[in-house]
Amino acid sequence: MKRLTIRARLTLVYGGLLLLAGVVLLAVTYVLVDQRMREPLTGVRAQVVQNPFGALPGVGAADQLRILIQEAQDEAKRNALESLLTQGGVALLLISVVALGFGWLIAGRALQPLHQITGTARRIAAADAGGRGLHERIALRGPRDEVRELADTFDLMLERLDRSFDGQRRFVANASHELRTPLALNRSLLEVAMSRPGASAELRQLGETLMAVNERHERLIDGLLTLADSEQRVVDRTPVDLADIAGHLLDQVAGTPELTVRRRLAPAATAGDPVLLERLTQNLVENAVRHNLPAGGEIDVSTGTVDGRATLVVANTGPVVPGYEIETIFQPFRRLHHDRVAAPRPAPERSGARDRAGAGRGFGLGLSIVRAVAQAHGGAVHAQPREGGGLVVTVILPSLVGAVPGHLARAVPAPARG
């Protein structure tokens, strides 16, 4: 059973109190009028009994006249009380209906600050968990009452959370930048050592191994920087077509052995940062390829405009993904662990489907970056298990169809990978 809203309950309380007060007032008036009309008409009786020209011819006639007057008085009393009840009741009902209307308006006016607080909280919650919507404030105006105090406290909480999230993002970005310098220095030293004419085969092999480790760390830092940058809402937007980006990236994986690539690239014009949107698409394509190799499989990439929004759908075959694990793959440094028959891997140190990104190919940042980039552009990303195994990831972004000409939507080519 659906419960009444606070506004409806306040309206019923206002109307009920007014109706109760009206009923009490009507009852009191009824009693007072009834008591007042019970008094005998002494003046009239005196005029009937006494006559300045003499007494009436007989006592019986005077008694009959008094009886007639009393009956007329009783009839007038009944009529007056009935009119009081009927007309007063009708008036009370009409006033109660009007009072309910005014009560509804007054309750809405009184609850308007709460609606403003709820709307702000809903927008912040709908933004994402990365703290991008925490810059918004309620800034409630009006008298400093309990509701104003609640709004100010909520604003103070938002300000502290906003500072906390900004501090975390700055720390990740600064730490990643600082780590890039020693990694670049390590790469230079390894290249110099490996390029020496007298370098032995063992030294070259060791150098190649260390270069691979160094490159892996560079990719990790690059992913952290991208994740930190993409958690800021994009302000400067450029018209981009997701079909161009997807086609550019699919051309580079089309020659992968034992991999079938299907594409259905309809125009999907949107606006945003071309580099971040390319990284979003690249992560989805690479994730689809990674979960199909080395056993082979299929990738199906489609773009288009659905319900006025640009969409990108990447589906791939692969291991069965439990539905309850879908949210896990969007968390940083988390990835699903599947034992592949064609490419066996050592057992993880701890059991369970959720593992920290370790020595595998990925770091568990790919889909986290996808979600962060989509939300930074005012969009969303959803994933669901594919029937027969694999995953279907859908990205929804604001569309430019009908607002930007088609040639302008394709004016910015997909940036080159680097």
**List of residues 6+ apart from 217 with CB closer than 8 A:** 179, 183
- At 303 the pLDDT is 95
- At 346 the pLDDT is 38
| DSSP secondary structure of 266-323 | ---EEEE-HHHHHHHHHHHHHHHHHTTTTT-EEEEEEEEEETTEEEEEEEE--S---G
- Do 225 and 179 touch, CB atoms closer than 8 A? no
- At 40 the pLDDT is 53
Look-up: residue for tokens 């310098």?
A: 181
Question: In this structure, what are the phi and psi dihedrals at residue 391, rounded to the nearest 5 degrees?
Answer: -145, 150
CA 211 to mean position of chain CA atoms: 45
Longest pairwise C-alpha distance within the chain: 160
Cα gap 216→234, rounded to integer Å: 28
- At 355 the pLDDT is 43
348 preceded by a cis bond (ω within 30 of 0)? no
Cα gap 255→152, rounded to integer Å: 59
| Sheet hosting strand 259-265, strand order edge to edge | 259-265, 297-306, 309-316, 391-398, 380-385
- CA separation, residue 136 to residues 120, 125, 168 (Å): 7, 11, 19
- At 385 the pLDDT is 92
| pTM score | 0.52
End-to-end CA distance of the chain: 58
Residue 239 zone, left/alpha/beta (φ > 0; ψ -120 to 50; rest): beta
- Do 316 and 305 touch, CB atoms closer than 8 A? no
- At 243 the pLDDT is 94
Note down pLDDT in tens along the chain; length 418 residues. Answer: 567 888 888 888 888 888 899 889 888 988 888 887 765 544 444 444 454 444 445 557 777 887 888 788 778 888 888 888 888 888 888 988 888 888 889 888 888 888 888 888 888 777 655 555 677 788 888 788 888 888 899 889 888 888 887 777 777 777 777 777 888 888 888 888 888 888 888 888 888 888 888 887 777 777 667 666 666 666 678 899 999 999 999 988 877 777 888 999 999 999 988 888 988 998 899 888 887 766 668 899 999 999 989 999 999 998 888 888 888 888 776 666 554 333 333 333 333 334 433 434 455 678 888 888 888 888 899 999 988 888 999 999 998 753 344 443 333 333 333 3
- At 161 the pLDDT is 84
Cα gap 60→18, rounded to integer Å: 53
